[in-house]
Amino acid sequence: MFRNQYDTDVTTWSPAGRLFQVEYAMEAVKQGSAAIGLRSKTHVVLASVNKANSELSSHQKKIFKVDDHIGVAIAGLTADGRVLSRYMRSECINYSYSYESKLPVGRLVVQLADKAQVCTQRSWKRPYGVGLLVGGLDESGAHLYYNCPSGNYFEYQAFAIGSRSQAAKTYMERKFETFAESSRENLIKDALFALRETLQGEKLTSTICTVAVVGIGEAFHILDKETVQALINEFEIAGEEAPANEAAPEDQGGDAQPGGDVQPGAADQGPADEGVAPMDI
């Protein structure tokens, strides 16, 4: 992407019908650390890569608890993700106080999308440069949504965002038909395998990843490093190889999204590990 006369503010349309500032925000999501979400009928698993940008610093938190039944994983500008997760937390508290019940996941996602969309219509604002995977459980079952900086939102069985996320998508596209009936342990296993695909050969350890779970009878919580490392070791000892390691077809195609909506700037994702934006910490 290059600077042009139509990207000076978010309300300027190009002759091709594009809003470049929104597309730039979506590009920030592609440059962030990878985040993955999977759901079955009873559980939702969120996982993220959280590398530190220096050996002397700690990593930025990529998964946030919103309520006992909702959590979120982010990719992109971490500060924006922190602000939006705090907004979501506030909405859940207000709903619980008013109605003495849990806020439905779908309603919260719509409110979040509306908040993001307003930033694409005001010249004195900028779009949020963060993508959010919202996982939760309510009376209608387990849900996984992706909220885009453009204000669009989509529900998925499994999805990945961030740098090199296409490798994880390829793995999940091959196995998603089994996710609905998967157990909690198998869902975590698939999440770790998909996360490993984004590392391009680097060894997966508990120090560079975070895994969180929510399900029936299980409040949203982040697994401790010892538990995650034990799971990684167990799968490696078993000698299981992720199916994504097999020869993949050259044309992987795009991700099917409900409703057939087209997101602005839906260009093919290129290598995002070079020239990574400063927000990718």
d(C-alpha 164, C-alpha 272), whole Å: 7
Which residues neighbour 130 within 8 Å (Cβ) at sequence distance 6 or greater?
A: 28, 29, 32, 74, 75, 76, 77, 78, 80, 81, 84, 149
- Res 229 pLDDT > 90: yes
Of the two residues 201 and 126, the one the predictor is more confident about is 126
- Res 274 pLDDT > 70: no
Tokens of 139: 């009376």
The count of other CB atoms within 10 Å of the CB of residue 200 is 11
Helix axes 225-237, 184-197, angle to 10 degrees: 80
pLDDT digits (tens, 9 = 90+) for 10-21: 999 999 999 999
Least confident of 51-55, 97-101, 133-137: 51-55
d(C-alpha 211, C-alpha 198), whole Å: 15
- Which CA distances in Å does 273 have to 16, 95, 200, 202, 214? 29, 40, 11, 13, 31
> What pLDDT shows up at residue 226?
93
**Residue 272's pLDDT band (cuts 50, 70, 90):** very low
pLDDT digits (tens, 9 = 90+) for 124-142: 999 999 999 999 999 999 9
d(C-alpha 143, C-alpha 159), whole Å: 12
Dihedral sign, Cα of residue 242, residue 192, residue 57, residue 272: positive
- Res 244 pLDDT > 90: no
- Res 228 pLDDT > 80: yes
| Tally of helices (H runs) and strands (E runs) in the chain | 6, 10
Average pLDDT over residues 238-266: 45
Termini Cα distance of the chain: 22
Average pLDDT over residues 86-111: 97
Tokens of 24: 């730039």
- Res 248 pLDDT > 60: no
- Res 34 pLDDT > 80: yes
d(C-alpha 281, C-alpha 277), whole Å: 9
Report which residue type is found at 160.
A
Looking from the CA of 255 toward its CB, the CA atoms found within 13 Å total: 28
Write down the residue that tokens 């998925």 correspond to: 156
